[in-house]
Chain A
């Protein structure tokens, strides 16, 4: 069973490469039982969205 550190590693790498089937299943199982990593999944997705937004049109006007 993968631990949280490994799960966050895979969730980060998932944004860079396609995970293998084994990695995907392992991660899915881990996320199923781990609330902290489910929260991290949301956070990583949001970080990407926020950074992209900053890079495309900067911050909102006053």
Chain B
């Protein structure tokens, strides 16, 4: 690609990259920094890519690494999880299940969810749902599924036990499932 095309493509991506970084870091200034660094790094090597789609994938991988670096830096500076607020949900998911552990309100299958992946509106809702997950489970879920780290590594980084990690992931998944059911898939039907 020509330099000016690359610059234009990167400029187009910037808002999306920023949103992504904010979601992961939950800090506007750190998100700005991470995106800035990722764009500079991308600009330096973008000529080798044939098209905007390839550049995008590449910028995303750079940005993800910047975000992981930043999360690691936070860990080094203290046990991040200790300072995160406890969420109200508790570990028992009291409203989701009855006393015997059965669904209070049983989930129903989503209709053709893969189609949603192509809808811009779906991603707005998906990001809002991610943002709505309590801090701890949200952090673990995003490190695991969006940044693609292994569970062991996440537990180590965050200084929590593996079983605690699993509990947090379970909670995040149940919360996201609930949120998407209500805010996206419910509306479709």
Known: A12-B166, A39-B107, A57-B57. A3 touches B177 (CB 8 A): no
Question: Which single member of B60, B110, B144, B151 contacts A56 (CB below 8 Å)?
Answer: B60
B94-120 vs A, Cβ < 8 Å mask (1 yes, 0 no): 001100111100111110011011111
CB < 8 Å: which of A12, A42, A56, A58 contacts B17? A58
From B20, B108, B117, contact of A53 by CB (8 A): B117
- Looking at B26-34, B69-77, B80-88, B168-176, the stretch in contact with chain A turns out to be B168-176
Shortest distance between the CB of B171 and any CB in chain A (Å): 9
Count of interface residues, chain A, beta-carbon cutoff 8 Å: 36
Contact across chains for A5 and B97 when beta carbons are under 8 A apart: yes
Cα of A13 to Cα of B177 in the assembled complex, Å:
15
- In the bound complex, do residue A58 and residue B166 qualify as a contact, i.e. CB atoms below 8 Å apart? no
- Given known pairs A13-B170, A16-B169, A36-B107, the reply for A47 and B123 (CB within 8 Å) is no
- Total count of chain B residues near the partner, CB < 8 A: 50
Whether, in the assembled complex, B145 has its beta carbon less than 8 Å from a beta carbon of chain A, the answer is yes
The reply to whether B106 and A36 contact each other, CB–CB distance below 8 Å, is: yes
Number of A-B contacts (CB under 8 A): 116
Specify the chain B residue showing the minimal Cβ separation from A59.
B123
Given A35-B106, A60-B118; A16-B146 close (CB under 8 Å): no
- Cβ of A50 within 8 Å of any chain B Cβ, yes or no, is yes
Complex Cα distance A38/B181, Å? 14
Distance of A41 Cα from B41 Cα, bound (Å): 40
Q: How far is the CB of A25 from chain B (nearest CB, A)?
A: 19
The answer for the CA separation of A48 and B188 in the assembled complex, in Å, is 21
> In the complex where A13-B170, A52-B146 touch, is A43 in contact with B120 (Cβ < 8 A)?
no
A4-B101 in contact given A54-B146, A55-B64, A57-B57 (Cβ < 8 Å):
yes
Q: Is the pair A12, B173 in contact by a Cβ cutoff of 8 Å?
A: yes
Hey, which chain A residues are within 8 Å of B103, CB to CB?
A: 4, 36-37
> Which residues of chain A are near B113, meaning CB under 8 Å?
42, 46
Beyond A16-B169, A49-B117, A52-B146, 12 additional pairs, beta carbon < 8 A: A3-B101, A4-B106, A5-B93, A12-B170, A43-B181, A49-B114, A50-B126, A51-B141, A51-B142, A54-B20, A60-B120, A62-B120
